[in-house]
Amino acid sequence: MTPSGLVVVDKPAGITSHDVVARVRRLAGTRKVGHAGTLDPMATGVLVLGVDRATRLLGHLTLTDKRYVATIRLGVATTTDDAEGEVVATRPVDGLTEAAVRASLASFVGEIDQVPSAVSAIKVDGKRSYARVRDGEEVDLPARRVTIHALGVTGVDLPSVEVEVDCSSGTYIRAIARDLGTALGVGGHLTALRRTAVGPFGIESAHTLEALAHDVTISPIADAARAAFPVYDLSAEDAAHVRVGRTLDVRLDTLTAVFAPDGEFLALYEPRGGVARPVAVFV
């Protein structure tokens, strides 16, 4: 029987996140595999997959923060805000300075309203935005509030700019490239993207598909829960209540993984209405 847990993959460029899921399904011998936080085909890096019961953790993992390294090309705007799109405008960058680039990027730090790329996977009336664009429709997505915790400039060799971004889930790095180009008056797009962390899962713990072909490394669901959420150890009486989905008269500050006295991961609970209520039970 395939164990429940997480697989942290270092996704290569040129394949979709769904392609990675299909590969791991074959390697793990189960259809019950899903992923948290889609990576575009051109992007590489951390892709967190859930196996069996752990797929139910994924919807909660998408609420975590993420870290990226990226390369932005200024002076060229594309239809997709990245290198896979068609060029729609070019402008010279001769007048740009490194100081101007750094100052503009600094303005993105904090809570900002960001308009996602039209070719994102956001659903519009039940259909993916990118599918509507592919079918020739014009899509105007509303701005979303996202948080850029930190945005460091690691290299400027105009027209290229290399950055590191710590951000909330839902942030589009392509949109940062686009908006930087707009702010500087020259246009811009993303040419390289690597995700180096999703919540507590970093690139150092990720496995290549080649390595997984030799040994499918599945982190047990209990270990994954302890890594991703605050932990509350239950009494035997409260553990029995959790097994049948009852509320608990315990104090929690946020979404929390609760464990039986023997260390078994039982559920995710959250504080609501003065008590702890179940969000997802895994037993």
Active site residues: 40
CB 13 within 8 A of CB 41: yes
The total number of residues shown for the chain amounts to 283
Rounded Cα distance, 155 and 56, in Å: 39
Phi, psi values for residue 210, rounded to 5°:
-65, -45
> Cis (ω within 30 of 0) for the bond into 159?
yes
For residue 4, which amino acid is it? S
Alpha helices in 172-249 (DSSP H): 173-184, 209-214, 221-228, 236-243
Q: Residue 211: what residue type?
A: A
189 C-beta neighbours (distance < 10 Å), count: 26
Task: Annotate 31-77 with DSSP letters as a single string.
Answer: S-EEEES---TT-EEEEEEEEGGGGGGHHHHTTS-EEEEEEEEETEE
